[in-house]
Amino acid sequence: MFRGALIIAGLAVILHIGVILISLERVKAKPPLAMPDTTGRVVSQEASSLLKHYGCGGCHYIPGIAGANGKVGPGLEQFANRAYIAGHLPNTPENLVHWLMNPQRLEPGTAMPTMNLTSTEAKLIAGFLYGYDNDAR
């Protein structure tokens, strides 16, 4: 009985160390680099990997992201010049971040799925879409 508990506690400790090591690896693997993209704009390397990771380009045309040619949603070029997000939310950074984090809450039934972006991820992507380099704050 007691030994069983010890073994379980031991396993939990080992698992924990594993998780910590994996997260350290991930932190190391993501240097916050700003690089010029193909359109000559300076973009955050992190934002472009997030756009690829979430597959945004499957539904949207996004300049500067290889293969982002989707036709399901509107093209995201010159996003800063747009008046409204999804046709009705004023295009402010706050609204854009909220939209990216949870489009279904802002417009139930929209074809854009809620992908559970963190606010840091949404801010990075919003910075990219507005065309400036925006490290997570």
How far apart, in whole angstroms, are the C-alpha atoms of residue 59 and residue 71?
5
By the 8 A CB rule, do 62 and 68 touch? Answer: yes
| Binding pattern for the stretch 1-30 against ligand HEC, x by CB under 6 A and - elsewhere | ------------------------------
The answer to whether residue 52 forms part of the interface with ligand HEC (CB under 6 A) is no
User: At closest approach, how far in Å is the CB of 60 from ligand HEC?
Assistant: 5
The answer to whether residue 90 forms part of the interface with ligand HEC (CB under 6 A) is no
Task: Tell me which residue of 96, 103, 120 sits closest to 32, measured CA to CA.
Answer: 120
70 token code pair: 């989707």
Q: How many C-beta atoms lie closer than 10 Å to residue 101's C-beta?
A: 19
For ligand HEC, the binding residues (CB under 6 A) are 54-56, 58-60, 72-74, 76, 82, 85-87, 100, 107, 110-113, 115, 125, 129
